[in-house]
Amino acid sequence: MAATQVLRSEWTKIRSVSSTVWTLGLAVVVSIGLGILISWLASNDFDNLGAKDRMGFDATAISFAGMGLGQLAMIVFGVLVVANEYSTGMIRTSLSAVPQRGTFLFCKIAVATLLALVVGLITAFIAFFAGQSVMGEHKASIGDAGVLRAVIGAGLYMTLIAVFSMGVAAMLRSPMLSLGILMPFFFLISNILGNVSATEKIGQFLPDQAGLKIMEVVSPVDDDTPYGPWGGFGIMALWVVAALIGGYVLLKKRDA
């Protein structure tokens, strides 16, 4: 089967499964809604901040605060796109129709990545403008230094979270197992490692901790991270590439 036919087939699969569509919608709603609320609360609390906190006040990053929860939906989306066929048994039919496993996996991930990118960028821009609209005199402008990079970076971050989840799901082949590993990793283990002094240096190089750097315009006063926004994004991208390679290698070696 030609690659264009496989791409069309994968697009049909994604849009015909309601759960994948709903998870993307949930990512948008949660990221924007929570971002507006936190932006409003942060603006109202600005006068109560100490001098150090005011120096590190990042209006742009605050408008993306909802993405911390919105990425949960992007993780679910990435896992479902790849692992659903294993749970339903449809993977055998798919690999019979497309015996070139590399083409099959590439097309599946390419379609899902493009969709995640569009959703991520739309979410990032809306979250930014909506968040700044409630921040009054403390708001940032899209033309300020580093702001446009942070907004685009926020969309790219959400995309890479989904793609990383696709790679993990391709390796594990089970929606429940994939989510059972990814959820604690991003929402528990990563936070613990990144906030405990003994493991902080390790936490800085985990995919989400490194990737979040791309959304910063104002660095925290006591920040000692050994890389900048694009350096952190590069570290996250390496994690994603490693996950995709692992998924491809195991797909080639294993039976359906």
Instruction: Please give the residue that has the higher pLDDT: either 2 or 103.
Output: 103
Instruction: Please give the residue that has the higher pLDDT: either 236 or 253.
Output: 236
- What pLDDT sits at residue 1? 60
- What integer is the mean pLDDT of 12-40? 91
Helices 175-184/147-172 angle, 10° precision: 140
DSSP 128-156: HHHHHHTSGGG---TTSTTHHHHHHHHHH
Rg from Cα positions in the chain: 19
pLDDT exceeds cutoff 60 at 63:
yes
- What integer is the mean pLDDT of 76-104? 86
Q: Where are the domains of the chain?
A: 3-253
Distances in Å between the Cα of 16 and the Cα atoms of 19, 97, 122 are 9, 19, 22
pLDDT exceeds cutoff 60 at 256:
no
Percentage of the chain beyond pLDDT 90 is 64
- How much is the pTM? 0.93
Q: Are 170 and 248 in contact (CB under 8 A)?
A: yes
Q: How many CA atoms lie within 13 A of 6 on its CB side?
A: 20
Phi and psi at residue 3, to the nearest 5°: -60, -35
The pLDDT-based confidence of 88 (bands split at 50, 70, 90) is confident
